[in-house]
Chain A
């Protein structure tokens, strides 16, 4: 077993265990903390896959931005009753069966597809992922993916306005 594999299995174990913690904890703040652990180990897995820029974005945007937003909202809406009432809804047995079916499907696809040559060959020359990661991503983003990049900026603008409108307190003067 190489160092790579040991690192991968450690990160994967941390990710899966804390993901399980996210969906089983009673207190939403604990769930958020375990989700942060999962996001960090996923960032580590990105580093293993030579996606250094994406790992940094994962830590900055997810952990630094989205999770802080989550914690803000938990603080805003947290109720005392949350600690006493049921955690799971009534249809949890059916939900678990459906999820088990989903997992079996995934397993089937991975086992069947793992050794076959169903994947089409690479079109275009292979790029060197290991060197100048941020520079190459930046170049591709501004050359090949200019339109999606602009659409993403528009999406973020819409999301900003939408979040402000939705969370705004209704004044008595405007109906």
Chain B
């Protein structure tokens, strides 16, 4: 029997790895993948609590999170393509039009 705490620890570890990826990487596509990691960590939490309380609500919420992740990926990758067309770069620290 695996306890809920162990699932929470796994989710916390994945979440932190995702945060590190978002904060340290330069490649904007890998930053995006790190965001997917973060969303997955949250989903593990939701499903773990769904199992803990024997309620389906957590699983349905996780389903909506996956929907939002799909929408976010589509729009975000569209933004990346538009950026690449204008700036010829995929490095997040070179896209500094709002900085002066």
A positions within 8 Å CB-CB of B: 2, 4-5, 8, 12, 15-16, 19-20, 22-23, 28, 31-32, 35, 38-39, 42, 45-46, 48-51, 53-54, 57-58, 61-62, 65-66, 69-70, 72-74, 76-77, 79, 82, 85-92, 95-96, 98-99, 102-103, 106-107, 110, 114, 122, 124, 126-129, 136-137, 140-141, 145, 148, 152, 155-156, 158-160, 162-167, 169
Does B78 lie within 8 Å of A137, measured CB to CB? no
Residues of B within 8 A of A38 (CB): 14, 37, 40
| Contact of A155 (CB < 8 Å), options: B15, B62, B71 | B71
B positions within 8 Å CB-CB of A: 1-2, 5-10, 12-21, 23-27, 29-30, 32-34, 36-37, 40, 43-44, 47-48, 50-51, 53-57, 59-60, 62-64, 66-75, 77-82, 84-85, 89-93
Q: A12-B10, A15-B10, A89-B24 are in contact. Are A35 and B36 (CB under 8 A)?
A: yes
Residues of B within 8 A of A136 (CB): 56
For the complex, give the distance between the alpha carbons of A96 and B21 in Å: 10
Would you list the 10 A-B pairs with minimal beta carbon distance, nearest first? Answer: A166-B78, A95-B23, A159-B71, A23-B21, A106-B12, A126-B54, A163-B78, A163-B74, A92-B24, A167-B78
Q: Kindly provide the distance from the CB of B69 to the nearest chain A CB, expressed in whole angstroms.
A: 7
For the complex, give the distance between the alpha carbons of A58 and B36 in Å: 12
Q: A4-B1, A122-B55, A167-B78 are in contact. Are A156 and B29 (CB under 8 A)?
A: no
Does B70 lie within 8 Å of A65, measured CB to CB? yes
Residues of A within 8 A of B30 (CB): 22-23, 28, 31
Does A28 lie within 8 Å of B78, measured CB to CB? no
Q: Kindly provide the distance from the CB of A10 to the nearest chain B CB, expressed in whole angstroms.
A: 12
Q: A73-B29, A79-B89, A156-B71 are in contact. List 7 more A-B contacts (CB 8 A).
A: A28-B29, A57-B63, A96-B20, A148-B64, A158-B71, A159-B75, A166-B81
Does A79 lie within 8 Å of B90, measured CB to CB? yes
Does A128 lie within 8 Å of B54, measured CB to CB? yes
Does A54 lie within 8 Å of B55, measured CB to CB? no
For the complex, give the distance between the alpha carbons of A50 and B68 in Å: 23
| Contact of B14 (CB < 8 Å), options: A19, A110, A163 | A19
Does A50 lie within 8 Å of B1, measured CB to CB? no
Most buried by A among B23, B36, B62, B82: B23
Q: A66-B69, A66-B70 are in contact. Are A35 and B33 (CB under 8 A)?
A: yes
